[in-house]
């Protein structure tokens, strides 16, 4: 059973752990990482969750996962990318875009800029059934069609701004939904 460290809203360790699936108390958060991979053409690497997943089966999403007890977010991000997609990269490849406080999680978002061929990836079949590169416009359509997980408008604004700031890529175009 996976065990997570508990943090307060500001990211301070509380000295307690929780098992995956247990209920959080008020003020308790766990650490989650999201990894956005962008290639030199400005396309985004997305993955389709396995039909065997309890949460969001067959839904497209980005590489993400919870940090296990004793693990920092950068280590968790590297581990998730390698476990789920078979992409092993050095620490220096993970650029932190920042942290979002969500309901019971502290979500650390990372950017990886890499050109990786889909056939070179080794998918963890229990977690991921498919991967593909998409444009920002394709991603936005998938969100609206409920084929890609809707992390929320504030989340997508945050990611779009971080990617623009770090790469110059306007994820959803000049007039796109999160351009402001």
Statement: residue 88 has pLDDT above 60: yes
Asked if 134 and 42 count as a contact pair (C-beta separation under 8 A), the reply is: no
Element (H, E) at 11: none
What confidence score (pLDDT) does residue 176 get?
59
User: CA 44 → CA 28, 122, 138, 170, distances in Å?
Assistant: 32, 18, 10, 12
Interstrand relation of 105-113 and 30-38 (parallel, antiparallel or unpaired)? parallel
What confidence score (pLDDT) does residue 172 get?
74
User: CA 139 → CA 45, 84, 106, 133, 134, distances in Å?
Assistant: 10, 20, 24, 10, 6
pLDDT in tens, 100-142: 999 899 999 999 999 999 999 999 999 999 999 999 989 999 9
Between CA 162 and CA 176 the distance in angstroms is 15
Give Cα 28 to chain centroid, integer Å. Answer: 21
Domains and CATH numbers, the chain: 33-62+72-167 (3.90.79.10)
Interstrand relation of 3-7 and 13-19 (parallel, antiparallel or unpaired)? antiparallel
Asked if 98 and 33 count as a contact pair (C-beta separation under 8 A), the reply is: no
Statement: residue 83 has pLDDT above 60: yes
pTM of the model: 0.93
Confidence class for position 174, pLDDT limits 50, 70, 90: low
Over pLDDT 70: what percentage of the chain?
96
Mean pLDDT of the chain: 92
Question: For residue 5, how many C-alpha atoms fall within 13 Å in the half-sphere facing its CB?
Answer: 19
* CA-based nearest residue to 112, from 159, 67, 151: 159
């Amino acid at each position: 059973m996976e065990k997570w460290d508990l943090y307060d809203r500001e990211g301070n360790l509380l000295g307690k752990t929780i098992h995956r699936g247990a209920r959080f108390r008020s003020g308790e958060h766990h650490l989650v990482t999201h990894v956005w991979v962008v290639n030199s053409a400005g396309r985004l690497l997305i993955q389709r969750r396995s039909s065997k997943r309890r949460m969001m089966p067959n839904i497209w999403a980005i590489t993400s996962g919870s940090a296990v007890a004793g693990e920092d977010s950068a280590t968790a991000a590297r581990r998730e990318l390698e476990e789920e997609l078979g992409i092993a990269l050095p620490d220096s490849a993970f650029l932190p875009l920042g942290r979002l406080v969500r309901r019971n999680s502290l979500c650390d978002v990372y950017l990886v800029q890499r050109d990786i061929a889909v056939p070179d990836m080794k998918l963890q079949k229990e977690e991921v059934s498919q991967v593909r590169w998409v444009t920002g416009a394709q991603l936005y359509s998938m969100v609206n069609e409920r084929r890609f997980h809707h992390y929320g408008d504030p989340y997508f604004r945050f990611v779009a701004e971080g990617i623009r700031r770090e790469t110059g890529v306007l994820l959803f175009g000049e007039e796109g939904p999160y351009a402001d």
